Amino acid sequence: MRRAPIVITATVVGLIAVIEFHTRPSAVSVANIPAAGAAATSPATSAPATRPTSKSKSKSATPKASTASPPSSTRTATGPQVNYSWGVLSVSVTVSGTKITKVGIASLDDGGNPRSQSIDQYSIPQLEQQALAAQSANIQGVSGASYTSAGFQQSLQAALQKLGVG
Amino acid sequence: MGTIVVIDVYATAGDAAAGAAAERASQEISGQVAEAVATLHRADETFSTWKPGSPVSRLRRGELSRAQVPAELAEVLDRCAVARDWSGGWFDPWAVPGGFDPSGYVKGWAAQNALAAFRSSAICGVLVNAAGDIASSGGLGDGTPFRIGIADPRDPLRLAEIVELTGAIATSGTYERGEHLIDPRSGRPAARAASASVTGPDLGLADALATALAVAGEAGLALIDGLGGYEALVINPDGSKRRTKGFPVAAVSSA
């Protein structure tokens, strides 16, 4: 991606902002590629992405007042389908308590063109592993990630929030 | 091709905060988020080389002269010239087919500008992550800095390094197929480093310098050494790492 003066095709097109609020992280934190270190106890809110070319909506934030820790059972959620450079994907995540135990692609439509498929085959497994690595390393972000990863992390984050651990 | 920006806001208002106060803080922060998003969209409108009507596209086609461009574009032109100088010419947005293309600077510049929106006293830290290039302020709230992993270019299943971030970090390299870095000295694709990361106060400049270092390879580290406030890490194609003395590597053990 990136690096552009250079890249013949690349430029800053279609900026999408994914917004997350975290209250002060508690001792138990769930890390994932983008958001990491999210407070387990009160994830406040998440405003949906806005795309400059289409409708632009911004949900106003209302913090959840929840103070209870999430249940410790093993649960799985799937994030929304998100556009990424090469198509549309969604991510599923399984957590045990607040720990991510599994991350995977729930759906992927890359339009079937060979270049997309080659990139997906290369990068998707890495992203899945990166999410797990990020958790174990207790980090709040990854530098050197990719375009694909941005869509991946967006869907992952939404899935985590469904589970109350994002 | 697009860029996705993820904004993480860490707020100090915890469970102890009264409902009304938390609500106020949340609304204040929401307004600031909207402001940051607007900043990013404005940058997109101005600097997209994909939009035929954008000022940068018009400049590229010669429809606007240097004197006619909007203030933001004039600023970026100036800063790109500075980045070119500071990088010893390894970053050169003029040395590309199609004319001036500031994309390698603007993504970081826009993310850095977006950060300025977050002024609420309830906020202890903000990360603005533009597809792996990250501008930040503050930290986790108790004096703990943000920790940012650098993806390992040879084995992206792992992190090559973890840094304790103050300010910005940009990483350039060949993480995903389809990327091509052009060596401004030859005009041909070339990347001597597998990955190059630069930390410093400004993400636009860090972004440009990381691009430069990825092309120049570890020989370029000497350039960064001469720049106050900026530090760098280069990962060579053989996996060996070289860094400037002050590169903020986190302690090995992690919580």
- Per-residue pLDDT of B152-200, as tens digits, reads 887 655 788 999 999 999 998 865 544 567 788 777 777 788 899 999 9
Q: Is the pLDDT of residue B5 over 60?
A: yes
Judged by average pLDDT, the poorest of B7-16, B121-130, B194-203 is B7-16
Give the DSSP per-residue string, B148-198.
EEEE-SS-TTSEEEEEEESSEEEEEE--STT---EETTTTEE--SSSEEEE
B233/B244 Cα distance (integer angstroms): 7
- B107–A12: do the CB atoms touch at under 8 Å? yes
B170/B135 Cα distance (integer angstroms): 8
Residue A1 forms part of a structural domain: no
The residue that leads in pLDDT, A18 or B210, is B210
- Tell me the residue range of the domain where A133 lies: 17-162
Residue A50 forms part of a structural domain: yes
Q: Is the pLDDT of residue B218 over 60?
A: yes
Residue A11 forms part of a structural domain: no
Residue A4 forms part of a structural domain: no
Beta strands in chain A (DSSP E): 16-23, 29-30, 38-39, 43-50, 74-78, 82-84, 87-96, 99-109, 141-143
Q: Which two tokens stand for residue B241?
A: 């790492």
Residue A7 forms part of a structural domain: no
Helices (H), A106-146: 114-137
Q: What are phi and psi of A84, to 5 degrees?
A: -130, -175
**pLDDT for position A46:** 32
Judged by average pLDDT, the poorest of A52-61, A109-118, B54-63, B112-121 is A52-61
Report CA B187 to chain centroid distance, whole Å: 24
- A141–B127: do the CB atoms touch at under 8 Å? yes
C-alpha distances (whole Å) from B7 to each of A35, A41, B115 are 9, 20, 9
- A6–B131: do the CB atoms touch at under 8 Å? no
Q: Is the pLDDT of residue B25 over 60?
A: yes
d(CA B241, nearest CA chain A) in Å: 15
- The closest CB to that of A5, out of B7, B101, B197, belongs to B101
Task: Tally C-beta pairs within 8 A across A and B.
Answer: 305
Q: Is the pLDDT of residue B141 over 90?
A: no
Number of folded domains in chain A? 1
Highest mean pLDDT among A65-69, B48-52, B222-226: B222-226
B164/B189 Cα distance (integer angstroms): 32
Can you give the pTM of this predicted structure?
A: 0.70
d(CA B88, nearest CA chain A) in Å: 15
**Architecture label for domain B5-243:** Roll (3.10)
Q: Is the pLDDT of residue B9 over 80?
A: yes
A166/A93 Cα distance (integer angstroms): 11
Q: Is the dihedral of CA B195, B201, B202, B208 positive or negative?
A: negative
Interface test with A, best of B27, B105, B176 (most A CBs within 10 A): B176
**pLDDT for position B4:** 65
List pLDDT tens digits, range A105-141. 777 777 776 666 666 666 666 666 666 666 666 788 7
The low-confidence residues of chain A, meaning pLDDT below 50, are 1-70, 147
Q: Domain spans of chain B?
A: 5-243
Give, as one character, the DSSP assignment of residue B218: G
A53/A30 Cα distance (integer angstroms): 33
Residue A109 forms part of a structural domain: yes
**pLDDT for position A115:** 62
Q: Work out the mean pLDDT of chain B and round it to a whole number.
A: 86
Q: What are phi and psi of A76, to 5 degrees?
A: -130, 140
